[in-house]
Structure 1
């Protein structure tokens, strides 16, 4: 498809044009990315090494942290480097790869959040059958495989839409990463149908998933009235963490992908929330509000200190 286009590369305007503001963007995104890596890798290591975190909930949390790491890596490093350049360019092929990867890991995060909601529903509403229903080795593995396949189908549809667009110039993308919506503005053809397909794909996935998740948590919270005070407190803490993550991730996504092909000045800042903001916040939410994860981290850190002392 690239051979049919006059455009071989795009210019990314980024989040700022002023040199001072670009330096602020560089420092900010560098800190965010390093924090995201440290937080998520800490959770990944803790879950992998701790026997106490062997339940399905932590299996899904492991994959959520892995997905957050990849989602942030697909965008943040390039934004950080581009902030140091006078003119940030990205080749056509690299742009398409970024469209695919950002949508793949973004969609995978949506599916994992749904699986985590299902896990909490079974654990709270059907506690006696929890380990039977949520078989860690069988069902959870199958569910994650389905999530990966579903994400691949979604991102393949997105990249197909992007590759179907003819680009004759100009080639300036008013964004800090390649996404289908800013690319629609550069296409030298009528993009009404393409935008409709975008809304019916990404927009529908975001909206339907958000409604399903919020409805499931309403059911879960309603069922807590039959639990003991201690059980209610623990389950409520976990559910509140999940609800915060869902709102922070889906709010910006729904705003961006469920409207006509029009852009607003705040679009880029709102996109920051779900592309690099949520991957940074997730580890904080799941560690600060989860006693089991914090205890496992303390044990892991204690073992490391003992090991260092022996050396």
Structure 2
């Protein structure tokens, strides 16, 4: 396949976006967990801070979660006394709101300028024109009449300054960071929407989405170890080990003992190669939010160069190898 055709550019766009999101999300969550809360839990607090009384169904749509996932997060937030249910006028329904403790948790977890999150590494590295192009591209891919409320959420998030403590930021840095927050949230929605749609397609291949991701990494880095896989894939070691175990049972990978004691090196099998080839040719390009990007033509190449630069800035350099070696 030609490396400059539209199929390759779509493959690049998705993977560049996905790994940029994973890097930012991973470093963000690491910072947030210092405050005895996870990023998904905090994200629900942000949503409730933006829209007090919002329904769980709408929380799920804004957060790109399944309803059961939201229910689980809500239960934990109740246990931590960060939210409460307020009776409505008809006394038969209740609305969710932040408790004073929840409001304090939002304040406590605001990111400061000296934080080590990847998003802040992008500060002032791109022109506003470049950021606007990226913002409009992701809007073009994901925003429809049915989900314009997502834009309202991101705008409200920035307006209320729920994510960052801007006390040490200059006015220009504050405005720039808010633009990055907007782009990051759009990328997140783009990636998670594709993940959900892609997961449904992969059922026919008897494969999960994490297993597909692992196969791509293993193909890109032959003889990789499970520990290395966990780092590249942004998984815990236990999760990476489980994925490897399931891939081996399905005969999609091969294992070989390494020279170092107890080390196991992993390579992709012919069956695994065939599945990846089928997925690229038949699955990804047919996902509905990917299809409109075909109309961008040569502009997509330039857009990919910007996202590639972002990955480089946040020290996500391995992504280019993954893209080139898996197409």
TM-score greater than 0.5 by the shorter chain: no
Higher relative contact order (CA 8 A, sep 6+): 1
Using structure 1 for the length normalisation, give the TM-score: 0.26
Higher helix share: 1
